[in-house]
Structure 1
């Protein structure tokens, strides 16, 4: 049985809710643990490059 396309209002409501969730996620601060992990990765990459690796 073929699916019927969502009704325009339902589609608009879904779009608005997805945008709201996305914007909320963007406003969250990156946890310190993630920042620490990123710093460790950058440090390891810099050390590898300094040793002549790529």
Structure 2
């Protein structure tokens, strides 16, 4: 009986982790991070031009 309870618990945990992960993927990247990435790309381009 104990192993059945453990398997059920693990199954519930797996389902919850998958749900949370899927929700995080659906949120996407916040605008402030996109802006930061754009700034970093511009800095890299400027450094490449100088080299």
Quickly name the TM-score band, shorter chain normalised: 0.7 to 0.9
TM-score, normalization by structure 2: 0.82
Correspondence list, 1:1-54, <5 A: 7-52=6-51
Q: Which runs of 4+ in 1 moved over 6 A?
A: none
> Cα RMSD (Å) of the superposition?
1.7
5+ long unaligned stretches in structure 2:
none
5+ long unaligned stretches in structure 1:
none
TM-score, normalization by structure 1: 0.78
More helix by share: 2
